[in-house]
Chain A
Amino acid sequence: MIAPCELDRVESLLFGELPAAEASEVRAHLDHCADCAREWQSLQHTRSALTGAPRRQPERIGHLYPAISRKLQARRSVRRQLSGMALTFASLCAVVLLSHGTMGTARTLEIFSDTCARQCTEPAICEVPSEQDEIAALEQRFAACLIATPAQ
């Protein structure tokens, strides 16, 4: 091969990647360079082997689109359900925090995390003690205290 042989340029010519002027230059070079002409033939051979008629029939894809639409709709509805569940959980948390507002945030979080640690099997469905439970617990503690220190 002699200058300006650049096999990359021969390949770029095959794929139409060269500007017009450069393409003419490489084409002219192929006329008198046996090595580059051989490379050109080899490249063409590979391309026609991979794109040629023996392997090819037009792809029929029209029948695939309805299934794609169905899959997309199914995904959208799953997403809607998930976002609905997330919204419900967020609302639940807000209600819990508000209902325990009188006790102070720190105490509310303490009760919430204690309950989760003891009873929670699924993070999204935590059981939070009601006000009644809290009162019952306080009454029990108070009664125990009375037994421990009898009135004088």
Chain B
Amino acid sequence: MILSGLFGVDPERTERELARRAREGDASAFREIFDRCGPAVRRFSRDLLRDPTLADEVTQETFVRALDRLGRLKQDERLLAWLLGIARLVCAEQFRLRRRSQDRHCEDSEEGASVPASFTPESRVLAREAAGVIQAGMDALSVDRQTALLLRFDHGLAYQEIAEMMGWSLAKAKVEIHRARVLLRDRMDRYEQGEA
């Protein structure tokens, strides 16, 4: 890591190197990919599904499928963006299963609304309330808009990457994310003004 900083090694090149090694059967390289990208994949899945147990399953399935498909990773594709793309598809399967069983599980999990231990009791209450408002704002969005907004604002993916992942044009990706942001901001503004 220090050496990479000193010699200016491109992190994307390192990712490609890791992917190549994992494809050739190097278990330690695959483990490193998991350690690097696993937290973001789980966070993304948890945000979409609102269920920590399902998020664990989605994370596992994402990495199992990823190892199978490493050969399809394009040269210019970022590993994290690619993994989040797989996670999105696995989450979509979960949504379909939920719809089929008509057991839509949308409750805010304790984990999702948890706050750091350093918070005072009063600020904990406020933080939980704020988290609830953000969650309610997200619930008002379609799954596609939630997905796109999270990919941009939480995971920092470029519009082009999001557009490719969602099967949208670049213009549509920008419009959808802008609309999602405006809706979320509106919900939060109303909360701050004491209307919600």
Chain A residues packing against B (C-beta within 8 Å): 8, 15, 17, 42-43, 45-47, 49-51, 53-55, 57-59, 61, 64-65, 67-68, 71-72, 75
Tell me the dominant secondary structure on chain B's binding face: helix
Q: How far is the CB of A73 from chain B (nearest CB, A)?
A: 10
Cross-chain contact A65 with B31 (CB below 8 angstroms): yes
- Chain B residue total in the interface (Cβ 8 A): 40
Cross-chain contact B188 with A49 (CB below 8 angstroms): yes
Known contacts A53-B116, A54-B130, A55-B131: does B154 contact A64 (CB below 8 Å)? no
Tell me the dominant secondary structure on chain A's binding face: helix
Beyond the given pairs A42-B181, A46-B153, 16 more chain A to chain B contacts, judged by CB atoms under 8 angstroms and listed by A's residue number, are A17-B158, A51-B154, A53-B116, A53-B127, A55-B134, A57-B111, A59-B43, A59-B46, A61-B59, A64-B38, A64-B60, A65-B34, A68-B34, A68-B64, A71-B60, A71-B61
- For residue B185, CB closer than 8 A to chain A, the reply is yes
Of residues 110 through 132 on chain B, the ones whose CB sits less than 8 Å from some CB of chain A are 111-116, 119, 127-128, 130-131
User: Would you give 22 A-B contacts (Cβ < 8 Å), ordered by A?
Assistant: A15-B156, A46-B153, A46-B181, A49-B184, A50-B149, A54-B113, A55-B113, A57-B114, A57-B116, A59-B39, A59-B42, A59-B43, A61-B38, A61-B59, A64-B56, A65-B31, A65-B34, A68-B34, A68-B64, A71-B60, A75-B64, A75-B68
CB contacts between A and B, total, < 8 Å: 75
Cross-chain contact A64 with B59 (CB below 8 angstroms): yes
Residue of A nearest to B182 (CB): A42
Chain B residues packing against A (C-beta within 8 Å): 31, 34-35, 38-40, 42-43, 46, 56, 59-61, 63-64, 67-68, 111-116, 119, 127-128, 130-131, 134, 149-150, 153-154, 156, 158, 174, 181, 184-185, 188
Compute how far the CA of A51 lies from the CA of B154 in the bound complex, rounded to whole angstroms: 6
Compute how far the CA of A15 lies from the CA of B156 in the bound complex, rounded to whole angstroms: 7
Q: How far is the CB of A92 from chain B (nearest CB, A)?
A: 29
Contacts of B150 in A (CB 8 A): 50
What 7 A-B pairs are tightest by C-beta distance, nearest first?
Answer: A59-B39, A54-B127, A61-B38, A54-B131, A50-B154, A59-B42, A50-B153
Interface centre among B112, B153, B158 (most CB of A within 10 A): B153
